């Protein structure tokens, strides 16, 4: 399922959970509808890309996402 939690643009460095609510993180997509906003882990959008290598803001993985 293409949910934000598994997207490479869902920030692993800027995330939060408020109270017992769902986890949310900053969307780092350049062209997604939630660009620059906090989104819940279960949200999905057309800009989704697989995050199997980690998020784009993961310093250890940065070179793997160079375009």
| pLDDT at 23 (0 to 100) | 94
Would you kindly state where each structural domain of the chain is located, as residue ranges? Answer: 4-65
In terms of pTM, does the model score above 0.85?
no
- The pLDDT score that the predictor gives to residue 59 is 78
* pLDDT of 67 higher than 50: no
Q: What is the pLDDT of residue 62?
A: 55
What tens digit of pLDDT does each residue of 6-65 get? 999 999 899 999 898 899 999 999 999 999 999 999 999 999 999 988 889 987 765 555
Longest distance between any two alpha carbons in the chain, whole Å:
38
Q: What is the DSSP letter of 24?
A: E
């Amino acid at each position: 399922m293409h949910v934000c939690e598994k997207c490479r643009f869902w920030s692993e460095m800027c995330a939060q959970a408020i109270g017992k609510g769902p986890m949310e993180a900053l969307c780092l997509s350049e062209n997604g509808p939630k660009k620059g906003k906090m989104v819940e882990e279960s949200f999905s959008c057309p800009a989704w890309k697989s995050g199997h290598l980690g998020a784009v803001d993961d310093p250890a993985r940065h070179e793997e996402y160079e375009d």
